[in-house]
Amino acid sequence: MCLNGYLHSVRKAFGITLLNKTRTAPEIWEAALGELQVQVSRSNFRTWFERTTGLSREENTFVIGVPNTFVAEYLDRNQRSLIEKALAGLTSPEVQVEFRVNGRYHRACVDDGARFTSPSGNGSGSLNPRYVFDSFVEGTSNQLARSAALAVAREPGKTYNPLFIYGGVGLGKTHLLHAIGHMAEDRHMKVLCVSAEKFTNEYVTAIRDRKMEAFHQKYRSAGMLLVDDIQFINGKEQTEETFFHTFNELHNANQQIAITSDRPPRDFSSLAERLRSRFEWGLIVDIQSPEFETRMAILQKKAKEKQVSVPNDVLEFVARQELQNIRELEGSLNRVIALARLFHREPDVPLAAKALENLSGKSPVATAPASQLILNAVAECFELSPDRILSQQRDKETSEARRVAMYLVRQETGLPLAKIGQEMGGRDAAAVAKACQKVSADISSNRYLKRKITDILQNINKN
Ligand code: ADP
Ligand code: MG
């Protein structure tokens, strides 16, 4: 017999069950919380259990009121058996729990009309339209952050305030922040989304132009304030001070605040202690680097968004790279797609390998493999070495090959002129423009040149 079953029979033997029958659901839950408190960590308890209530008990079902769906889902998935064990001793061994989002919280959200304004004219405009929940791929590395963001977006000011999301570069912090903003805007909330840098600049300008009142008014009137990359204000005392007051005003008025950062509050070297402690009021969640499965899922989603069919083995090849960063991962996929387009062929693994071969270098150039290939093909056709094309030699043959190489790189990759100049032996944009013009003009009259260019393109496509 398990411990709880045993306790139950002991209680029953001593008539304690009878006593429990007269206990109300809130009282039973209070007692269960007392047990749970010693079984889970303090922070765990504070985050998940503190604002729960015992709502009702019928037969073997015990209903627990939770502040939001996020907590409901979390408790359901992760703490159900622990909770049922705690309740079994107080109710019946077969007790099953149900979580219900507290009606009170829902009503508060709907009734709070003062916080809502017409969407017209207040759209922040600063939200990236691509950064929505739908396009955010969930994985173990970002699950908690995503769920917390969703909870905050659904019930602003009611769940975690502030929500503090931290993690390394390119892991989706801004994406989640904007996703919160979009959802809130869809619900007609006035959202103000700024980078901490913008906040600082606006503050400095307001002081300079003596427009502090307008500055305060702007931030005070936000129904929801989203601040990206808060680490930027670390050590900027005046800005910290202003942010502190803005934070307090909004927080006191129950307006939702969400903040992103590249590090947790405790790692801020010089952030004023009181501001740091404010950040710790709500929920602090981190985003980790995605593991392989998430990287695959993200690539599949991105390929779909771009409406390009990329076979799974190619996506896997891209995902297998040890990239810690989703931005780079997306960049890799873009390279593969760009190269496939350039060669007019379906992406396959050898092509992906070619597209990504320069990636390990310090400063990968988006289309470096493409321009390299073009250069090689031109060199072969003109029977010159690539180095010679890149050199300063000005003989007729080399100059023509160089012009053709520039022209083809421009045509095929669309790189900016200055970039092409750089790659073609450090020439300036004007030289590239001139070369491209000359080749375009010559092609129509010079059949020999036209033939050569066609041959080169065919060679590239064979690769
Ligand atoms: P951060 O702000 O953490 O530096 P971003 O939010 O700018 O990172 O994300 C970088 C890129 O990666 C963006 O294009 C974003 O859409 C994409 N991205 C990050 N995480 C995800 C994810 N889980 N699902 C889909 N795209 C993601
Ligand atoms: Mg960012």
Write out the DSSP string of 11-48. HHHTTHHHHHHTS-HHHHHHHHHHHHHHHS-HHHHHHH
Sign of the dihedral through C-alpha 258, 262, 263, 267: negative
Mutate which of 182, 293, 327, 334 for ligand 1? The one with the most ligand atoms within 8 Å of its CB, which is 327
Q: Give the range among 104-118, 202-216, 291-305 with minimum mean pLDDT.
A: 104-118
Query: What is the reported pLDDT for 8?
Result: 45
Burial of 127-153, coded b for 16+ CB within 10 Å and e otherwise, reads beeebbbeebbebebbebbbbbbbbbb
Ligand 1 binding pocket (C-beta < 6 A) is 131, 135-137, 142, 167, 169-175, 298, 326-327, 330
Give residue 460 CA to ligand 1 midpoint distance, Å.
Answer: 34
262 token code pair: 């590249």
For residues 88-117, give the mean pLDDT. 57
Q: Which of 305, 288, 324 is nearest to 140 (CA)?
A: 288
Query: Quick check: 175 pLDDT over 90?
Result: yes
Tell me the CA end-to-end span of the chain in Å, nearest whole number: 71
Q: Give the range among 19-28, 226-235, 248-257, 334-343 with minimum mean pLDDT.
A: 19-28
Which ligand ends up closest to the CA of 232? 2
CA–CA gap between residue 239 and residue 245 (Å, rounded): 10
Query: Quick check: 111 pLDDT over 70?
Result: no
Q: Which of 102, 97, 77, 98 is nearest to 86 (CA)?
A: 97
- Taking the whole predicted model, whether its pTM rises above 0.85 is answered as no
Tell me which residue has its CA closest to atom 19 in ligand 1.
172
290 token code pair: 């995605």
Residue 168 CA: which ligand 1 atom is closest?
A: 3
CA–CA gap between residue 456 and residue 342 (Å, rounded): 13
Give residue 261 CA to ligand 1 midpoint distance, Å.
Answer: 14
32 token code pair: 């269960």
Which H helix or E strand runs over 101?
Answer: strand 96-101
Query: What is the reported pLDDT for 92?
Result: 86
Q: Write the CB contacts of 206 (distance below 8 Å, at least 6 apart in sequence).
A: 212, 214, 215
Which ligand ends up closest to the CA of 178? 1
* Segment 209-256, tens digit of pLDDT: 999 999 999 998 999 999 999 999 988 888 999 999 999 999 999 999
Query: What is the reported pLDDT for 461?
Result: 60
Q: Count CB neighbours of 213 within 10 A.
A: 9
Query: What is the reported pLDDT for 403?
Result: 96
Which ligand ends up closest to the CA of 303? 1
Residue 287 CA: which ligand 1 atom is closest?
A: 3
Give residue 143 CA to ligand 2 midpoint distance, Å.
Answer: 18
Mutate which of 132, 171, 232, 259 for ligand 1? The one with the most ligand atoms within 8 Å of its CB, which is 171
- Report whether 392 contacts 431 (CB < 8 A): no
347 cis-preceded (ω within 30 degrees of 0): no
CA–CA gap between residue 4 and residue 12 (Å, rounded): 12
Q: Where are the alpha helices (DSSP H) in 79-142?
A: 80-88, 103-111
Secondary structure of residue 271 in the 3-state scheme = coil
Secondary structure of residue 188 in the 3-state scheme = coil
Tell me which residue has its CA closest to atom 5 in ligand 1.
172
Q: Are strands 256-261 and 224-228 parallel, antiparallel or unpaired?
A: parallel
162 cis-preceded (ω within 30 degrees of 0): yes
- Report whether 397 contacts 389 (CB < 8 A): no
Query: What is the reported pLDDT for 405?
Result: 95
Q: Which amino acid is at 81?
A: S
Q: Which amino acid is at 404?
A: V
Query: What is the reported pLDDT for 272?
Result: 75
Which one has a higher pLDDT value, 164 or 59?
164
CA–CA gap between residue 92 and residue 103 (Å, rounded): 26
Burial of 226-250, coded b for 16+ CB within 10 Å and e otherwise, reads bbbbbbbbbebeebbebbbebbeeb
- Report whether 162 contacts 281 (CB < 8 A): yes
Residue 146 CA: which ligand 1 atom is closest?
A: 23
Give residue 73 CA to ligand 2 midpoint distance, Å.
Answer: 27
Which ligand ends up closest to the CA of 132? 1
Token pair 């709907």 is found at 110
Domains located in the chain, CATH noted: 3-105+291-355 (3.30.300.180), 124-287 (3.40.50.300), 370-462 (1.10.1750.10)
Rank 43-47, 118-122, 392-396, 448-452 by mean pLDDT and report only the highest.
392-396
For residues 9-37, give the mean pLDDT. 64
